[in-house]
Amino acid sequence: MGLDLIELLPLLIPLLVVQLTLQIIALISLWKRETVRFDNKWIWVVIIVLGTLLGSIAYFILGGETHENGSED
């Protein structure tokens, strides 16, 4: 009745590829930024690496520096 790892691999591999891709893109983006929200890049590294998929998504949603005037123009 239980699923073996071999049976789960076709479902897990695409999820792992998406997760690793997002983590790599998030870390590269973090490295290129001068400033981030909360002014500490190391906190974001930990969130991205340990938070896996949700950590990367949180970085893209919350990690950017906010602008005082509310627009990026």
d(CA 23, CA 16): 10
| Alpha-carbon 15 to chain mean position | 14
pLDDT (tens, 9 = 90+) of the chain, 73 residues, equals: 466 878 888 888 898 999 999 999 999 988 888 888 777 888 889 988 998 888 888 888 887 665 544 445 4
Pure H helices in the chain: 5-32, 41-50, 52-62
CA–CA–CA angle 24, 26, 27 (5° rounding): 65
Determine if the pTM surpasses 0.85. no
